[in-house]
Structure 1
Amino acid sequence: MERHRIFSTSFASIYPHYVAKAERKGQNPSDVDLVIRWLTGYSQIELERVIAEEVTLEQFFEEAPALNPNASLITGVICGIRVEEIDDPLMQKIRYMDKLVDEVGRGKKMTSILRS
């Protein structure tokens, strides 16, 4: 199976796009960190470390302290694909993160985004 090139992309290279998306839509950029920490279990310090070290998305999720047990409640379409139907576990985690950031950008309530 061919590996998707996004897997070797650094988290640090996509993170500014997430923040910019939130800001462009008038949302608080710290909410981006909040949803990423919720999904991955990283602390803010750990998140800043993986950005500074430019770890790949594959490493980012491999080293994540704990994927949130409610991550499977993230559903819907991102990039034209239903996230709950993605077969590759790593791609699904990346798309979960995309979906959460998208919801921040759309101004959804944080309780809804964090599936609480």
Structure 2
Amino acid sequence: MKTTPEHDEGVAKMTFASVYPHYITKIEKKNRTLDELHQVIEWLTGFDENKLQELIVEKATFETFFQEANLNPNAHLIKGVICGYRIEEIQTPLTQQVRYLDKLVDELAKGRKMEKILR
């Protein structure tokens, strides 16, 4: 599934700080913890809690966020549909990486076991 250039640009310019509170709300509603959220983010990006806070304070865009990330070599195993897009078919690498993160947060919120989330 192809995304539009406008969609990809919107994703790239969005700040991690603007989305992070939504991740927290989503997982806490389903009785998951902030520690679990941070574990999932660290698995995907290599960012520990201190680095996440630094990126939030800097108001880093997703473009910067993923440029600085050390993407997990198993990230390509994240599959499924998120926001109407099949992740494995997204052709723009940055948009795909953001959707990887969205999918992991979704799986966490849906109660999936951590060992399944962290492929």
Q: TM-score of the superposition, structure 1-length normalised?
A: 0.93
Distance in 1 between the 2:32 and 2:40 partners? 13
Which fold has the larger relative contact order, with Cα–Cα distance below 8 Å and residues 6 or more apart in sequence?
2
Helix, strand or coil: the match of 1:4?
helix
Helix, strand or coil: the match of 2:51?
helix
CA-atom RMSD, angstroms?
A: 1.1
Distance in 1 between the 2:103 and 2:77 partners? 12
Cα offset, 1:24, TM superposition:
1.0
Counterpart position of 2:57: 52
Counterpart AA for 1:94: V
Cα offset, 1:4, TM superposition:
2.3
TM-superposition CA deviations, 1:17-71 (whole Å, max 9, x none): 001000111211221111111101112211111011110010000011x100000
1:1-116 matches, cutoff 5 A = 1-2=5-6, 3-64=8-69, 66-115=70-119
Distance in 2 between the 1:4 and 1:31 partners? 29
Distance in 1 between the 2:40 and 2:31 partners? 16
Distance in 1 between the 2:11 and 2:80 partners? 20
Q: TM-score of the superposition, structure 2-length normalised?
A: 0.91
Counterpart AA for 1:68: N
List alignment gaps of at least 5 residues for structure 2. none
Distance in 1 between the 2:101 and 2:49 partners? 16
Aligned residues: 114
List alignment gaps of at least 5 residues for structure 1. none
Distance in 2 between the 1:59 and 1:26 partners? 30
Contact 2:15 2:61 in 1 (8 A): yes
Distance in 1 between the 2:78 and 2:49 partners? 22
Identity among equivalent positions (%) equals: 52
